[in-house]
Amino acid sequence: MFEEAQYFAPVATRDDGSVVVELASGHPGFADTVYRNRRNAIAALALGHKPGEPIPHAEYTDEEHHVWALVTQELAVKHDKYAVREFIDAAARLGLPASRIPQLQEVSDLLKPLTGFGYLPAAGLVPLREFYGVLADGLFHSTQYIRHHSVPFYTPEPDIVHEVIGHANTLASPRFAALYRLAGRAARRVETEEALEFVSKVFWFTLEFGVMREDGESKAYGAGILSSSGEIEEFRGMDIRPLDLKAMGTTHYDITKYQEVLFEAESFDHLEDVVGTFWDTCDDDSIARLAASH
């Protein structure tokens, strides 16, 4: 329902140095002063982070850990049913804690020996080129806050449940991690904004919302589906189409709703052949030709 660098509450630093996350009036935490203060404090942690230093420790409340535990338990059952095997196996290897929110540094330390990936803290919006570009270096920008406790199975923005349960479990797979790196290299290689947007939309329809044929069924591998307890139950009823680079790179999507059009790879090999090769070789010209093709 959202994409990095596209749907974040704005973060502002005031003249006195205080950091304010500007939640929209419809946000579940909008009227909750305690929650808003938490969001401000957690955003300030990320803003204070300097490259190369350990990720700042976020002290979570019992209520926040409880939200994580609830969602983890709920999603684990659904992953068994709906996630691709590669994801389930990678999640088992990563071994995220089930009853408490892990620190991003801890997630990094678990991932490093598996695929070399590490996490970077993000206060909010990270520009597209930066967000995707550092994937080439094995780095993933992640928010640290968790959704509001009143709606544990819903979030209008990418929170730590999405970033870690969705993405870190995927990044624990060498095959998926290789695709993330290729997307990053593509984002660094292209120069025009149009080409960058095309690259990011292909990411959206694959690593965020991709599905794959496995044992005669549609299984999810996109982090956006795998971190949403509602969407994971619904994706099989959506309009599922064959992988198609031009369509993925040019289809408009609405980040505020469940993804209605999904693209399905026939297999992991197929995903790597089509999407991996695209990211590995694309440039401004090849993307412009693809976008103009019929």
Distance from the first to the final alpha carbon of the chain: 29
Residue window 209-248: x/- pattern of binding to Fe ion, with contact defined by CB under 5 A: --------------x-------------------------
Say whether 147 sits in a helix, a strand or coil.
coil
Q: Considering the complex, what minimum distance in angstroms separates the CB of residue 16 from Fe ion?
A: 33
Cβ of 286: how many Cβ atoms within 10 Å? Answer: 14
| Count, residues near Fe ion per rule CB under 5 A | 1
Say whether 23 sits in a helix, a strand or coil.
coil
Closest CA to 34 of 142, 145, 125: 145
- Residue 36 vs 231, nearer CB to Fe ion: 231
Residues 6+ apart with CB under 8 A from 269: none
Is 162 annotated as belonging to a binding site? yes
- Residue 107 vs 223, nearer CB to Fe ion: 223
Q: Considering the complex, what minimum distance in angstroms separates the CB of residue 286 from Fe ion?
A: 25
Cα separation, 169 vs 89, whole angstroms: 9
Residues with a known catalytic role? 162, 167, 208, 227
Q: Considering the complex, what minimum distance in angstroms separates the CB of residue 40 from Fe ion?
A: 23
Q: Considering the complex, what minimum distance in angstroms separates the CB of residue 203 from Fe ion?
A: 9
19-21 and 211-214 strand pairing: unpaired
Inter-residue contact 23 to 147 (CB < 8 Å): no
Phi, psi of 224 (to 5 degrees): -65, -35
Q: Considering the complex, what minimum distance in angstroms separates the CB of residue 195 from Fe ion?
A: 21
Cα separation, 49 vs 124, whole angstroms: 13
- At 182, the amino acid letter reads L
Closest CA to 117 of 177, 186, 200: 177
Write the DSSP assignment of 185-202 as a string of letters: HHHHH--SHHHHHHHHHH
Annotated binding site: 162, 167, 208
- Residue stretches of the annotated binding site for Fe cation: 162, 167, 208
Contacts to Fe ion by CB under 5 A? 223
